[in-house]
Chains A and B, each alone.
Chain A
Amino acid sequence: MQIQDNLMDPSVISDPYTYFAEIRTNDPVHWSDDFGGWIVTRYEDVAFAFQDQTRFSAERVTPSRKASEKKKKELASTYNVLSHWMVFNDPPKHTRLRLLVNKAFTPSAVEKIKPRIVEISNELLDEMANNEKADIIKDYAYALPILVISEMLGLPKNDRDKIKKWSDDLMLLVFGAVDVPDRHEKAQKSLQEMYDYLHDIASKRRENPQDDLISAIAFAGDGGDKLTTDEIISTCSLLVFGGHETTTNLIANGMMSLLTHPQAYKELKDNPSLISSAVEEFLRYEGPSKAMIRIAKEDLELGGKKIKQNERLLLVQASANRDPAKFTKPDKLDITRHPNQHLGFGRGIHYCLGAPLARVEGEIAIKQLIQRFPQMTLEDVQIEWQPTIINRALKRLPVTLRGTSS
């Protein structure tokens, strides 16, 4: 059986599920020349690799295999910032970085900022209500998470557009949007600007602490296990960045799923208390994170294949989450699904730090959107997904807010 070897093929981008199901059925741990590594597709194997941090390393930030030496040099400072992101580190550095910010993202900490998230959502909805039509992404899903995380960190309101732009440019690099030719340069420039900006604010907070997350991070571990300046700034940039695009896509993919499944949509409108299991189902059925990369630390065996030390593995969450060995009727959207142990936030020690926040943002955002515009319908246009391997992201989600009058 010949498996088509191009993860960026338009058919794979528009429907990754059919493609990965074919691999999962025929060759579940599959070598891909195109990716330059193993494609891991079964729930069991994906979960296993996420959980075994002793043999599967998360230290994976290296310049593109295809980059020239000159380019690699130019990008050194970008990779320096990324190299302090906890998500790209193994223990013990990972543990240290994570514990120092964990407190701000626990479910009980997030519970306290719920009222502010509701307010922010309402402000955006008020603005949308002035028009007949909207792009759910541009007008709502995009703005909400960046406003929330900026406020948590304590970044000045006026700087939000700047922060959004930096975050976008960096996303081009990390999420591998290969159709943007100057993505490396853009990311590099934005990351540098963002670094200087955060550096400036963090130094100010060290002199004059406020009741915000950036102050907490700037002083984190002052007792003994101090963060270096590079680590402080990198951690802040990870929070801005990690909390942004993914949550946008949770809201957008969730709304998209509802708008294309009238029965589920109605069920949720009739019974808003289903929102939390609905959000879990969106994370499974159309999760923002399609796949994550790991590096084999030693020669090992996975799903009957011999993996060599230093080989890359693509852990495909979009496939694991549709594995019939784990989920009944995996290709059906069921907003009441229980249990639902999806891998949308990963597993093991790198399990998404922001999961409690993302869940609450997703729940509030979708619930309020439906309440405000119960007649909303999808516009009759071609649905396009961003051409990336790692992310499940719509380009636009155009809707008519009060339904079609015809």
Chain B
Amino acid sequence: MRVWIDKEKCVGSATCTIIAPNVFDINEDGQAVVANNEAEGINDINKSADNCPVQAIVIEKK
């Protein structure tokens, strides 16, 4: 599985960093980044993706 943020869509609402703080972070441009690709917790990643107001979290299942 690979998780990434669509920079064109991300508006920095920080919803994902609140739901899954061990996976996502906000960079200095105010946008989300995947800070820890190794992090556990697919549930929190899915929940973040579902709660994102602009659907900027992309989850690629391999």
Which residues of A approach B to under 8 Å, CB–CB? Answer: 47-48, 50-52, 95, 99, 102-103, 105-108, 339, 341, 345-349, 351-353, 355-356
Contacts and interface: CB of A to CB of B under 8 A. Distances in A.
Interface string B25-46: 0000110000000000000000
A349 B14 contact: yes
A51 B30 contact: yes
A349 B12 contact: yes
Nearest to B13: A351
B14 A348 contact: yes
Interface string B6-26: 001001111100100000000
A285 B53 CA distance: 21
Given A51-B30, A107-B55, A345 B11 contact: yes
Contacts of B54: 107, 351, 355
A102 B51 contact: yes
Given A95-B18, A347-B30, A348-B30, A51 B12 contact: yes
A389 B50 CA distance: 35
Interface residues of B, number: 15
Nearest to A108: B50
A339 B8 contact: yes
A47 B30 contact: yes
A242 to B, nearest CB: 14
20 contacts: A47-B30, A50-B30, A51-B29, A51-B30, A52-B30, A102-B51, A103-B51, A106-B53, A107-B52, A107-B55, A341-B8, A345-B11, A346-B11, A347-B30, A348-B13, A348-B14, A351-B53, A352-B53, A355-B53, A355-B54
Given A52-B30, A339-B8, A356 B53 contact: yes
Given A47-B30, A51-B30, A95-B18, A351 B50 contact: no
Counting chain B CB atoms within 10 Å of each CB, which of A105, A106, A339, A352 scores highest?
A106
Contacts of A103: 51
Contacts of B52: 106-107
B16 to A, nearest CB: 11
Contacts, number: 47
A353 B54 CA distance: 10
Contact of B11 (A52, A102, A348): A348
Nearest to A340: B8
A105 B55 CA distance: 12
A50 B30 CA distance: 9
A327 to B, nearest CB: 14
A105 B15 CA distance: 13
Given A51-B30, A99-B18, A341-B8, A349 B13 contact: yes
A106 B50 contact: yes
Per CB-CB distance, the 8 closest pairs between chain A and chain B, nearest first, are A51-B30, A351-B13, A351-B11, A348-B12, A349-B14, A51-B12, A339-B8, A355-B53
Contacts of A352: 53
Nearest to B8: A339
A191 B12 CA distance: 32
Contact of A102 (B8, B12, B15, B30): B15
B45 to A, nearest CB: 15
A355 B56 CA distance: 14
Contacts of B8: 339, 341
Nearest to B14: A349
B53 A353 contact: yes
A108 B48 CA distance: 12
A105 B14 contact: no
Counting chain A CB atoms within 10 Å of each CB, which of B13, B29, B52 scores highest?
B13
A107 B53 contact: yes
Contacts of B50: 106, 108
A97 to B, nearest CB: 12
Given A47-B30, A51-B30, A106 B12 contact: no
Nearest to A96: B18
Nearest to A339: B8
Nearest to A351: B13
Contacts of A106: 50-53
Contacts of B29: 51
Nearest to A109: B50
A347 B15 contact: no
